[in-house]
Structure 1
Amino acid sequence: MLQLVYSPRWFYGKDIVIDIVSIVVLLCVAWFSLKYYRINKRNKNYLLLCFGFGLMALGFLFKIITNFTIYYYVLETRHLGFITLTYSVLRASNILFFVGFLMYRILMLIGLYILYSIYIKQSRISVAIMVYLITVLTYFSRNAYYVFHITSLMLLCAITWQYYVNFTKTRNLATKTLLFSFTIITLSQLLFVFVGLSQTLYVVAELIQLLGYLGLFLTLMRTLKDGKKKRKE
């Protein structure tokens, strides 16, 4: 059984809106990464960016699915003395929750790992092994939500550090905004580790995560704007 951390009742549905915004941003980044790859197929990093952000978007989609429950009818029989009653009962299935959260965690971690692998070059065998280990870790740690968030935090810290290194080399507005965005997203994961202590932390973490993805969207818009200026020149 998956260990779930629920948001406060007054926040129900609002986290879904945040996830939808995150999906839109991630899909936009994935789409433009694919577009740039088609222009310059020698640069495989664009393709990896597309896969990484695309898997993260798909992960958020599975997370949203977990907000819906499958209901089904079963027949139950009860004996009352000499009388036997058979009636239908509405039951709720945990299958959708299990599959949704498991896929969300697996896809999110693999997506983050792909982004990390852009800067730390590895062989295909090493990547395949890491994907396998991430899948196994996610499945067997499904009862401990914090393991997923700690793993995400570690990957995000590694990615953010690489963006910091890039910023120190270029020091332009685009890399600065990108660094800010991933720093905020990393901070949100740090808070998610401790959401079991307080439901308020869940709300704060969701809002900070939203800020991070909005920053990522601004980075994309800035990059596209700079690209148009260069083409005009």
Structure 2
Amino acid sequence: MDTPHVALKDAEKQFQDGKEILTVFKNIDFSVQAGAKVALTGVSGSGKSTLLNVIAGFEPLTAGKLLLNGEQTDNWKMAQWSQFRRAHLGVVFQQFNLLTPLNVRSNIEFPLALNDLGWNDWCDHLVEALELGEILERHVATLSGGQQQRVAIARALAHKPMLLLADEPAGNLDQNAGQEVMKLLTELAEQNKTTLLLVTHSQDWAEFMDAHYHIQNGSLEIRTKESGRLDDAC
């Protein structure tokens, strides 16, 4: 079997709130194979975004292990995390997090510049697929929510990351716009053979993925497409 792009083993995450210890999730075993598209759902506060932040290295695990491409990350220093995120990770944030002083083109070019790369045919393809050609010179602060979301997707995919983490990428869009964005996001990830992990509240958006996990009461379960049944995956 191929080495998973992402694997969590007996993972636990806690936060301290004054004298109280809050357990977000525990005893989680979870893996995502290269090129897979996986949805992670759960109610607000269930730990979906925290799990994504752990995988991105923004939050450390309290216990357990995180492996990326088969390599344990326990002892990674800041420089190793920075190198991984710069070269191999794309993130679509819920609030976009675009560089507002810059225009659309410069936002898309930003991850390329970090990797000493320039604009290329893949960037042209992203711009065409996401219909950004007519707004490349516009400052992102002047764009609609839907346009900003498309720019965020182009920026996240510009450097052809091996792993794409998307936190509610259609959460601020209406149903029709969200449907279109999700279709484009999955198609573009497939074209680049990018592993996609999607956090969403929406069952509709989860249906775009190959597999669907649900986090509840600190545990992770897999939801089968055939039956809608939840099977314990921990």
Q: TM-score, normalised by structure 1?
A: 0.30
Q: Which has the higher contact order (CA 8 A, sep 6+)?
A: 2
Q: TM-score, normalised by structure 2?
A: 0.30
Instruction: Return the index of the structure with the highest Cα Rg.
Output: 1
Instruction: Point out the structure with the larger helix share.
Output: 1
